[in-house]
Amino acid sequence: GQKIFWGRGNGWVVAGIVQILKEMPANYEHRPFYENLLKDMLISLVKLQNKDGFWRTSLLDPESYPAPETSATSLISYAIAYAINNNILPRDEYIRCVEKSWKALVSVVDEDGKLGFVQPIGADPRKVTREMTAVYGIGAFLMAGTEIYKASENF
């Protein structure tokens, strides 16, 4: 009966804002609104990262879905790395979060290169297992990796 703040749903939102900003002219009069929206959401999301580096299916009640969730983690990591790379978030305060999430994500890629723990398609949170994967999870993982690579110095 309680509200659920869905990890992947929030991930889609912040990744979507990044995509808007990538297309938006730098001098667009409403750009600061979108940059501030992204910044505010990411500051809140960073506080919900689990100690192991993942975000869970339910952001406010991670115990209800204890397995890691890689599509949420990838999308949120992508947005944080973009924000660092574009001076929306200060690097020195947020790079550790990105490093931690990338190490977590890489840890669930199996020896055949399959990314696990990707929630199935749905309109609400679902339980996830290591065997579960989907192309949108892999795409988000690759987007995160590309943006994190730009942000990385020594990891």
Residue-wise pLDDT for 7-38, tens only, equals: 999 999 999 999 999 999 999 999 999 999 99
Chain mean position to CA 48: 11
Confidence of residue 99 (pLDDT cuts 50, 70, 90): very high
Length of the chain: 155
3-state helix, strand, coil split of the chain in percent (to 5) is: 55, 5, 40
CB 48, CB 60: distance < 8 Å: yes
Q: pLDDT tens-digit profile of 31-48?
A: 999 999 999 999 999 999
Confidence of residue 51 (pLDDT cuts 50, 70, 90): very high
Percentage of residues in the chain with pLDDT exceeding 90?
88
The sign of the CA dihedral 37, 81, 59, 96 is negative
The conformational region for residue 113 under phi > 0 = left, psi -120 to 50 = alpha, else beta, is: left
CB 86, CB 152: distance < 8 Å: no
Query: What would the mean pLDDT of 82-106 be, rounded to a whole number?
Result: 97
pLDDT at 154: 53
